[in-house]
Chain A
């Protein structure tokens, strides 16, 4: 008979500090330093010869799945992608080493952000043992060197609370909004087009997309005074046009990702059941398990 331990696995986490979140200086400092952690080049046009944008997406999707399965803190995945992009912007990398790089970046981001970080062994298992823990540790050092040990990068997640707290939002909807914003941020991290955008812009665009998606902006127009976009733009000193464009881009990426998810599911179900006459609506109801599905477009 197997024994099952029922001790609760609670995670120790600091509570959000109102002193930090209400202080204008914290947000201003984040805005000042965020540019320092952006990748230096659009690396597919120059540095990288062997790897293509779709490969970045493959490794990003895999990293997101691992982070979700391991219930990592939300910012681990975007932070790992920041390391990956900064490394790829300076080091020509072969396709066959891209997954190793992804694993190293998750390893570092998890150590920086989590009370109980991912282990090298676990990450190697997720690569289907195509890399060994020893190799992961060796390349950890190489990646750290290339990042100049600057690991505490600003991520879009750092801005969520600062933005949300400055908006007149219904208290009972906050948790849902946060969840949607985090999903949008993760989605942006998987798409190379967002890799060179400042994190504050991604965060602001994601908050805008979340509020519009949940149709909280149309419920009571009067509460916003200015339009939502103007208000958002003011909070993070972003230009209104740029922010609008960013939000629309996020919505397009979301739409195409949803469409893809649906197609994949359809294919899976067709291969499972054979091409029987299942209606689209039926397929649609058995949605993908991600939060993205909840969004009302």
Chain B
């Protein structure tokens, strides 16, 4: 019985109706906030452009940059960085431009799952979630479906080739 009460109390307190639920500094000016958000993103983008010598909006390298840019086929780009998350069937060659994260969307890929902000957006997981009827895998829930463990090397294949290291015989 004691346990029941404790659980019940926890459920109630989880609703956030206690005194912790409060607005501290008055109303937020939504329009102004949106303007500041866009400005902040714009500034980040400009800084990134300067730093990498690349115009992320027109998707072209800048002249006089410290970097030499080289196009590579889309299928060499790690899955994580491809803009089209749902076309998993298309494993053909994508153009280099396609294989980029779209910075005008703030580097975030628009998707119908955007409300599930806690799920990392790797394609595998997204596909997995579609199967599970958009249900967030909760702790303790037996998912039943075994999914391949994602290795860090899945994402860094491209980089590994660039590094000047003799390959191990096993590779």
Contact = CB atoms under 8 A, between A and B. Distances in A.
Nearest to A65: B20
B40 interface: yes
A121 B142 CA distance: 25
B37 A130 contact: no
Interface stretch (A131-139, A199-207, A220-228): A131-139
A126 B19 CA distance: 9
A126 B24 CA distance: 10
Interface string B72-116: 000000000000000000000000000000000011100000110
A98 interface: yes
B155 to A, nearest CB: 15
A6 interface: yes
Contacts of A4: 4, 7-8, 11
The SS class assigned to the B binding surface is: loop
Nearest to B36: A97
Interface in B1-49: 3-4, 7-8, 10-11, 13-14, 16, 18-30, 33, 36-37, 40-41, 44
Contacts of B70: none
Contact of A58 (B14, B24, B44): B24
Contact of B139 (A69, A116, A142): A116
Interface of B: 3-4, 7-8, 10-11, 13-14, 16, 18-30, 33, 36-37, 40-41, 44, 106-108, 114-115, 117-118, 138-140
Interface of A: 4-7, 9-12, 55, 58-59, 62, 65-66, 68-70, 95-100, 111, 115-117, 119-120, 122, 125-128, 130-131, 133, 135, 137-142, 145
